[in-house]
Structure 1
């Protein structure tokens, strides 16, 4: 019998098979990405005497370089997996979703040798079988472990894979060690000076040398990474941490990392300058977060949750135990931490122990429920740090906006030269409390504490107005740690307002949304969401917010970071009615995705389009096309019915607010209802300027990517790829703004990059379309049968276009049609008038201008007479969204063009000194969160 389930889901959620080993005579495979969801089962199951095969090799193979396929058997369990072993001396890529055995100590690169990169794809799981199985990144080499919110990279034990790891097991394999060239203060050469190239140290577990004189050293990226069941005891003095950062520099990126069930410290910094953010440390046997040897990095959003069975300090912070005065002195800056012990347990020691001469700044903290005490400071050199000036940046101990509630809050010992409680409570906004915590989240007492403004002190830190790792508005189902972490939150199930489907896709629960939403709905991570028919958010409240329709109902749809929503047919779409709102709260590392069923099932084709409806937002901003022919444009009487039976839009409130759309990508939509009615990717129908739209992609839409039907909404960081019709379209009197727009067309089927109208049926209607657009890059596919015009302006539109690059369109770069549009060229040309203005724009297409008989203006003469416009032979290269396209990175030709100072004209725009949507190869705002077609 062969029963194929999903390895990623089984690894991360409870199963009736007690994980793997209890599923007899079974073949378990790993077909692809799933949402991380909730924690695994409690393990403990063993085989029933029949053979179980766990197949962890993805269909496309293990990857490239020093990774290979292998098969190992342990009793009645056989694991088919990829493997790394020995010394990796060439760049190696582990495929996404692969299962990889770490056999013995695996060293990436050779200390002092050439740089080697180990790249680990999202969803990959690496595991060891014993304490001698661990991974070391040598100085000068790099680890790029880049997971996602729904497919983290997991380092764990073989027992975890087999299903025999218990909830409090630890030390089942080695761990992860990263060596860098950043400064340390503990030198194996007693004559060396700390912080210099001569000051090196040998790492635990025979992990090699670390340390140097490069604080900006770059050892790679850890993003959405878990380390579980590690920390093997080599001897009483040498035990591996979950992650040991040994002389690691600030060029290394560490964000969204969890260490769980480690036998030694969860994370330990041995000197260096690396910064960390969104760190989760759970069930650690020794110290959860530890540093020594002169660490001077930063940390924000740190959660420690200890288990009472076996634990030491939440924070254990040293300079150097053998010599407290060594320099460079440990002096980190840490903000927004929550440390939670288990008050009545036999093993739940201290919350924070500072000793051995460390300095450090700690802000916005919550320390509760430790069985001994919340705060202890030891050693005279450490007390001397309390006695220093207390100014940020000095070698002092500073604590502000921190609250304590433990069995004893302070460890006051005979001989201490400072009264700890008096000092602590004398600092700004520190307090002893009776905590009101709800799990890991602050209650009303914690929320009432005045937070320290950490961002004003150091803009590396996220600007927050709360203490602790989480805000008071976050919940189990909706917070920065939800979805990608292990064994932290209970499964939230489907949110109220949705219905759980009997169907499961790739091992993931489906929650269905249908009909009319008449109350607020929040879509949280841990599930995928299926649209069943048209989903209307709210009931139309009419054109006038001051006098809403009695029958109207206001509702809000909130979509958390990392959530995926899909539709199966053209009748599946979302409509935000007038007076209601959408909050699509994606992030750069966890975008919101709206897509088709075939995409989530993995069967979508590279050129597929029109597989579901799309997103429609109706607002109360002015339009000029009124269904009542007697109404005046821009008034509350001027309303229009939207495509796809999406309801009325329009009004007289230019600042109308329909919510926000951040880091959101919409794929494979745009269903054709009939020859006249086809859904756009996103239709902004009379949407007002109070709506925030930033970092949005529409990919492979059957109709227009984004279309503005009047209104005044502004958009920024807009990416439109593979659109069949027009990529960016407006009509009906849009007067908003746009900056940083990328259009990348596919040659299989495409129309205009920009198609800009006032109103086709009456070019003179008011308010006239008159947007202001800057920093756009439009890319066609020159040799393709379908790659039409770059920019078509017609139907009486005005508009200001600045700082543009238009290349490789198969017909032409620029066309202007209709006399009323040509009249806009003939106007004064002053910003703010109803004119067409184009400045600092370059063209390179098969034909640059569509010069038609009867045109009343010579288009090329007019265009080339404007400031800094030119015909060029482009030098665009770099990142390409569509295979075969020119990249979006400007070359020397484009970079030499003088940019228009758009910020001086309008301060809404970001101040730039370049043309196009992308400045240069270092400008990567469009990467990571977007979809890129690779085949």
Structure 2
């Protein structure tokens, strides 16, 4: 029923995109309370600050951004200042999408995961405590001297609003060499803020970056970002659960790059709690990227019940400097302020042995040049080196990415309970390690799904030998107009298999007959380039899937 509801929502949204009014928004246009609705497409022109009031964005709204603003700004971006609030709550069926001006959302092939830096990004600023000597600082990515770009304060419960079911695509414009904007920047944001189900797709800089504050996040995706997938800095003491990263083979940084504070011995250092992450690197044979995890500048924190795999170099570096150079991340590990427990590590270009030069990358002037202290910590805290048996890893839009671990995977055992965490509010116990269990929560609302990266490669124990009603994903998907659809009937039924275009028009009636119990494979051909949905009805049963023709 959920898939059928999604089909109707998808058709309505796609039809609406073809007939929407373009509303250009400059900095001067956004003053006080504002309401953006799904019957318009909003075009950001330059740096657009909300200085006070609340910006409400309806589910299904599309916000695009100019690559070359008319305002003279170096990029276009939306900035919610610490005296304002955003209420952007999409749904799985109707996500809120931020993307480039040239992105045709009805054509999944017009932009790819290598199209980055076409606009800026989204910045949320708050009044939480930060890890600087001063009480406030200015966010990176915005020209120096802009007072509205400041964040920080003394209110760790500060509420910046709701940011939920949002996809941010093709951002990260370069303001100057080495100075780009993250997909989603979260600075000084407090614990009353809701950030859940957010995707950053094809950003030139980091996917997500957190500075200070205490916000708790869930269901985040950083896909094909040109730098780090997840970055935290300067006193972030919030948390995350169900984080997913996949990196491309053309450009990448670390899975997680984590810094503590300024200066390094600042007692307000970063110490978040992160459970159930899955970080997939650019591949062991790639020549891009960095370590899966980099902890430096006095970073603390916790990773638990997570999976790190397919990185070209080493797995982890915990900065370990000579004693006279002050506090480092190894010192925080010794004190119990940096913890890795019950994680799965596998598939590193440098090797899968838990020693220096293989999985462990040591700091150039390390006191422990052998990495023995880190290796002992990982072993003592139930970290394992074993294949996570992810159902499918692909970095192309070919329907071969399925981040769920197979039933035989070690991800379904050796699970750490949520105890000893620095932050526990909002965390939930799971029966699996990594970002995904048996359900792919990233389906429907993400670019990864809309553009054809995801496939149905996971087979649960209960499905093996099961003869229930089932409509499988067509294969190949995307296809060239010729594809196969497979389905299973638990009993004899009147069967209708129809293909619809994005307006809801039937473009092909594939099957319309009574069929006995069994499994069927049907060839479908002659489809033109575009997005289609195919619906199978068999008696009282109904299912729908999406296909992409390139």
The alignment's TM-score, normalised by the length of structure 1, stands at 0.44
* Residue among 413, 418, 428 paired with 1:454: 418
Report if the CA contact (8 A) 1:230-1:262 is conserved: yes
Counterpart residue number, 1:469? 435
Deviations 1:877-917 (A, max 9, x none): xxxxxxxxxxxxxxxxxxxxxxxxxxxxxxxxxxxxxxxxx
Say yes or no: does 1:125 pair with 2:70: no
Report if the CA contact (8 A) 1:182-1:247 is conserved: yes
Q: Secondary structure of the equivalent of 2:331?
A: helix
Quick one: structure 1 residues 459 and 221, their matched pair in 2 at CA, closer, same or farther if it must change by over 3 Å? closer
CA distance in 1, matches of 2:194, 2:47: 24
Counterpart residue number, 1:335? 275
- Per-residue deviation at 1:312? 0.8
CA distance in 2, matches of 1:121, 1:528: 28
Counterpart residue number, 2:210? 269
* Residue among 6, 17, 23 paired with 1:82: 23
Quick one: structure 1 residues 56 and 268, their matched pair in 2 at CA, closer, same or farther if it must change by over 3 Å? farther
Q: Secondary structure of the equivalent of 2:540?
A: strand
- Greater RCO (CA < 8 Å, at least 6 residues apart): 2
Report if the CA contact (8 A) 2:501-2:533 is conserved: no
Deviations 1:781-803 (A, max 9, x none): xxxxxxxxxxxxxxxxxxxxxxx
- Per-residue deviation at 1:504? 4.0
CA distance in 2, matches of 1:427, 1:355: 22
* Residue among 108, 116, 123 paired with 2:53: 116
- Per-residue deviation at 1:223? 0.9
Say yes or no: does 1:99 pair with 2:41: yes
Report if the CA contact (8 A) 2:320-2:367 is conserved: no
Say yes or no: does 1:306 pair with 2:230: no
Counterpart residue number, 1:181? 127
Aligned length in residues? 443
- Per-residue deviation at 1:383? 0.7
Report if the CA contact (8 A) 1:97-1:121 is conserved: no
Report if the CA contact (8 A) 1:356-1:379 is conserved: no
Quick one: structure 1 residues 529 and 280, their matched pair in 2 at CA, closer, same or farther if it must change by over 3 Å? same
Quick one: structure 1 residues 55 and 35, their matched pair in 2 at CA, closer, same or farther if it must change by over 3 Å? closer
* Residue among 137, 156, 159 paired with 2:80: 137
* Residue among 438, 442, 451 paired with 2:391: 438
Q: Secondary structure of the equivalent of 2:13?
A: coil
Quick one: structure 1 residues 505 and 339, their matched pair in 2 at CA, closer, same or farther if it must change by over 3 Å? closer
Quick one: structure 1 residues 512 and 225, their matched pair in 2 at CA, closer, same or farther if it must change by over 3 Å? farther
Deviations 1:39-69 (A, max 9, x none): xxxxxxxxxxxxxxx8552xxxxxxxxxxxx
Report if the CA contact (8 A) 1:35-1:150 is conserved: no
- Per-residue deviation at 1:262? 0.6
Report if the CA contact (8 A) 1:56-1:82 is conserved: no
Deviations 1:555-613 (A, max 9, x none): xx9x8xxx89xxxxxxxxxxxxxxxxxxxxxxxxxxxxxxxxxxxxxxxxxxxxxxxxx
CA distance in 1, matches of 2:277, 2:158: 26
Say yes or no: does 1:199 pair with 2:179: no
- Per-residue deviation at 1:33? 2.7
Quick one: structure 1 residues 413 and 132, their matched pair in 2 at CA, closer, same or farther if it must change by over 3 Å? closer
Quick one: structure 1 residues 231 and 529, their matched pair in 2 at CA, closer, same or farther if it must change by over 3 Å? same
Report if the CA contact (8 A) 1:410-1:420 is conserved: no
CA distance in 1, matches of 2:384, 2:211: 31
CA distance in 2, matches of 1:359, 1:348: 22
CA distance in 2, matches of 1:34, 1:437: 32
5+ residue gaps, structure 1, are 1-7, 13-30, 37-53, 58-79, 110-114, 193-197, 391-395, 537-556, 565-935
The alignment's TM-score, normalised by the length of structure 2, stands at 0.73
Counterpart residue number, 1:253? 194
Counterpart residue number, 1:33? 13
Q: Secondary structure of the equivalent of 2:244?
A: strand
Deviations 1:517-554 (A, max 9, x none): 96899xxxx9585756x527xxxxxxxxxxxxxxxxxx
Counterpart residue number, 1:169? 115
* Residue among 422, 426, 429 paired with 2:375: 422
The Cα RMSD (Å) is: 3.3
Superposition pairs of residues 911-922 of structure 1, within 5 angstroms? none
Q: Secondary structure of the equivalent of 2:215?
A: coil
* Residue among 442, 446, 464 paired with 1:481: 442
- Per-residue deviation at 1:514? 9.5
- Per-residue deviation at 1:454? 2.2
CA distance in 1, matches of 2:26, 2:306: 42
Quick one: structure 1 residues 171 and 531, their matched pair in 2 at CA, closer, same or farther if it must change by over 3 Å? same
* Residue among 158, 162, 166 paired with 2:101: 158
- Per-residue deviation at 1:328? 1.5
Quick one: structure 1 residues 481 and 277, their matched pair in 2 at CA, closer, same or farther if it must change by over 3 Å? same
Report if the CA contact (8 A) 2:136-2:150 is conserved: no
Q: Secondary structure of the equivalent of 1:441?
A: strand
Report if the CA contact (8 A) 1:402-1:430 is conserved: yes
CA distance in 2, matches of 1:399, 1:513: 56
CA distance in 1, matches of 2:126, 2:169: 23
Counterpart residue number, 2:329? 382
- Per-residue deviation at 1:96? 1.7
Report if the CA contact (8 A) 2:57-2:88 is conserved: yes
Superposition pairs of residues 641-656 of structure 1, within 5 angstroms? none
Quick one: structure 1 residues 519 and 108, their matched pair in 2 at CA, closer, same or farther if it must change by over 3 Å? farther
Quick one: structure 1 residues 455 and 511, their matched pair in 2 at CA, closer, same or farther if it must change by over 3 Å? farther
Q: Secondary structure of the equivalent of 1:369?
A: strand
Q: Secondary structure of the equivalent of 1:429?
A: coil
Quick one: structure 1 residues 414 and 150, their matched pair in 2 at CA, closer, same or farther if it must change by over 3 Å? same
Quick one: structure 1 residues 379 and 323, their matched pair in 2 at CA, closer, same or farther if it must change by over 3 Å? farther
Counterpart residue number, 2:360? 410
Report if the CA contact (8 A) 1:107-1:137 is conserved: yes
Quick one: structure 1 residues 512 and 94, their matched pair in 2 at CA, closer, same or farther if it must change by over 3 Å? farther
